[in-house]
Amino acid sequence: MSTETTVEVTEEKVVAKEPKEGLLSKRRRKFVTDPLDDDNPVTVQVLGICSALAVTVQMKPTFVMAVSVVAVIVFSNLIISMMRKAIPSQVRIIVQLAVVAGLVALVDIMLKAFVYDVSKQLSVFVGLIITNCIVMGRLEAFAMGNKPWDSVLDGLGSGFGYSWIILAVAFFRELFGAGTLFGARVIPQDIYIKNGGFYTDNSIMVSPIGAFVILGLIIWVQRTYNGYVEE
Amino acid sequence: MQRSNSYTIIFSLVVCVLIGGALALVNELLKDRIAANKANETRVNIMSAVTVVSASDPKEIEKLYKKNIESYVINNKGERVTEDADGKPVVAEEINVKKQYKAMKDAKKLGQEVDMLLPVFKFRSELDSTQTEAYIFPVYGAGLWDAVWGYVAVSGDFKTVKGVVFDHTGETPGLGARITDKEFQARFAGKGFLNTEKRELYSLDIVKGEGNVFEGDDNIYKVDGLSGASMTTNGVEKMISDYFGFYKAFVMEESLKSGDDEKKGTPSDIDVGNMVSVQ
């Protein structure tokens, strides 16, 4: 797992003349930027695939899902990091689980209260955020051993890394599977076969198979761009 | 760091109490909002069976609903019911259709009959509010994987189906899930409900396959199906047939009352606000 580089438990020894590390120092910026490309949780670490396949049929629920996951990762990272020295090691996984589950239940209630129609589309998938390996993965690999602000940044990085991938997948799936984006028609109705034209929606895009294919293509493009070499 | 067992236990308990407490608090604060959202959705679904609901503001929808819908509750014998078995007053919109259905099925397994509480929503005509443009019934049943449900609207004279709305929990996207498509639901419009000569209800048949046109009086009970989703449509067909059975007594009685009435309001689409139809 390529997370070793980010688990730098830097206990900042207060040496009188050393300046305090900036809130967005180079090291900290890397927490946010690394997971976007080099260390992407979905395409490089291959985590969180299940929801990447399930919710990405349309862009609108994907967007809400992305926001929800970022919120859950960031807040659980923050909370666990703040508690990290107090958590007894025998129950640490359970405590992490409890915090994440609590946050997910919170997100579910908020969605039902404020964006009811979207909550119906997401239905079970919100509850499944807790099973998203990325969330627990970051807690165990980073938050348990790092300070709160660093953990928040790491959470943002992983969250955004996950988000842009699922939005990209959803973009192609909705466009080719339904001809719309965010519900608004993009491919004109006239060119459809049933209206006398030649075009028809790609039904593979509607099923998880299409998501797998697009994900594979994204990984291919990303690796070419980054110059990946098989070890 | 090895900690004492009691620390671990106390820590765990504190975490549980804090998290549980926080969730309970948020739920308490937001539950009215959520209930209002659900009620709004129910109103939109009921009205969508008959007309296109273009309003999106819940307050407007509530106004529209109060203006157009008169609701009451009946039992399987077609009699009006104002109280349930415990003596509490019944509200049509609050009847749990799923619970009623399950109670009926459980009783049937034991060979018993149970009195169901069946809501009826009368859609008043725009032009003449004493005339009924449509009767709307909620329906509930089993699809392939999980529940399917919806509303069936029939014309004021009971002769035809005016429209349907369907929803589901877990049918296959692209296959069974297509029952939520407006295009599929539109296939039910104009199909037969009450055969006034024979005094019996049509048995709607969602024909296997797709792309068939069923027009004319001979095909008044046939509905074009969904290719690849015959299990789901079988469930929908059974659901419709079950509920036609439940409401039969009511329909027979009511149709005799309004039998001679030829006055009907011209069906019109209620159009409030912008032209965005609400699913």
Can you tell me the mean pLDDT for A163-186?
89
User: Which residues pair with residue A185 across a beta bridge?
Assistant: A180
pLDDT of residue A9: 52
In this complex, the residue of B8, B16, B30 whose CB is nearest that of residue A90 is B8
B69 has which bridge partners? Answer: B123
Q: How far is A11 from chain B (nearest CA, A)?
A: 18
Hey, is the C-beta of B24 within 8 angstroms of any chain A C-beta?
A: no
- Interchain CB contact of A185 with B (< 8 Å): no
Residues of chain A found within 8 Å of residue B38, distances taken between Cβ atoms: 116
Q: What is the pLDDT of residue B267?
A: 42
pLDDT band at A204 (very low <50, low <70, confident <90, very high): confident
Q: Does the beta-carbon distance from A98 to B15 stay under 8 Å?
A: yes
Alpha-carbon span A159 to B189, nearest angstrom: 47
A217: Cα separation from own chain's centroid: 18
Q: Which residues in chain B are closer than 8 Å to A90, comparing Cβ atoms?
A: 8
* Gap from B128 CA to chain A (nearest CA, Å): 34
Smallest Cβ–Cβ distance between A206 and the set B26, B34, B173 belongs to B173
Mutate to test the interface with B, among A97, A117, A203 (most CBs of B within 10 A): A117
Instruction: Tell me the H-state helices in chain A.
Output: 26-33, 49-54, 59-83, 92-114, 116-122, 124-127, 133-141, 148-178, 203-206, 208-226
pLDDT at B266: 40
Residues of A in contact with B15 (CB under 8 A): 95, 98-99
Cβ burial of B134 (10 Å; 0-12, 13-18, 19+) is buried
For the CA atoms of B75, B77, B80, B82, the dihedral, rounded to the nearest 10 degrees, stands at -40
Q: What is the pTM of this model?
A: 0.71
Looking at the complex, does the CB of residue B196 fall below 8 Å from at least one CB of chain A?
A: no
Is the CB of residue B84 less than 8 Å away from at least one CB of chain A?
no
Chain A: residue nearest B24 by CA? Answer: A106
> CB distance B23–A117 less than 8 Å?
no
Asked if B11 reaches chain A (Cβ–Cβ under 8 Å), the answer is: yes
pLDDT at site B4:
83
pLDDT digits (tens, 9 = 90+) for A155-170: 999 999 999 999 999 9
Does the beta-carbon distance from A109 to B26 stay under 8 Å?
Answer: yes
Distance CA B40, CA B27 (A): 19
Give the model's pLDDT for residue A82.
93
The Cα of A203 is separated from the nearest Cα of chain B by a number of Å equal to 8
Question: Greater confidence, B215 or A217?
Answer: A217
Q: Inter-chain contact A106–B8, Cβ cutoff 8 Å?
A: no
Residues of B in contact with A89 (CB under 8 A): 1, 3
Separation CA A208–CA A57 (nearest Å): 8
Q: In the A/B pair of chains, how many CB contacts fall below 8 A?
A: 59
pLDDT-derived band of residue A16, with 50, 70 and 90 as boundaries?
Answer: low
Is residue A220's pLDDT more than 60? yes
The mean pLDDT of chain A is: 83
**Residue B174 sits at the chain A interface (C-beta within 8 Å):** yes
- Successive 10-residue mean pLDDT values, chain B, 279 residues: 81 93 94 91 87 83 87 86 83 86 88 86 80 89 89 89 86 78 87 85 85 83 86 91 89 75 42 39
SS (H, E, C) chain B: CCCCHHHHHHHHHHHHHHHHHHHHHHHHHHHHHHHHHHHHHHHHHHHHCCCCCCCCCHHHHHHHHHHHEEEEEECCCCCEECECCCCCECCHHHCCHHHHHHHHHHHHHCCCCCCCCEEEEEEECCCCCCCEEEEEEEEEEECCCCEEEEEEEEECCCCEEEEEEEEECCCCCCCHHHHHCHHHHHHHCCCECEECCCCEECCCEEECCCCCCCCCHHHCCEEECCCCCHHHHHHHHHHHHHHHHHHHHHHHHHHHHCCCCCCCCCCCCCCCCCCCCCC
Q: Is A96 a residue whose pLDDT tops 80?
A: yes
Q: Say if A184 is an interface residue toward chain B (CB within 8 Å).
A: no
* Alpha-carbon gap, residue B160 to B220, rounded angstroms: 9
Q: How confident is the model at residue A128, as a pLDDT? A: 78
> Strand, helix or coil at B134?
strand
CA distance to A86, A90, A98, B6, per residue, from B2 (Å):
11, 9, 22, 12
Q: Give me the DSSP letters along B263-274.
A: --PPP-----SS
Mean pLDDT check: name the lowest of A102-116, A179-193, B248-262: B248-262
| A57 in reach of chain B (CB within 8 A) | yes
Confidence grade of residue A126 (pLDDT, cut at 50, 70, 90): confident
CB B100 within 8 A of CB B117: yes
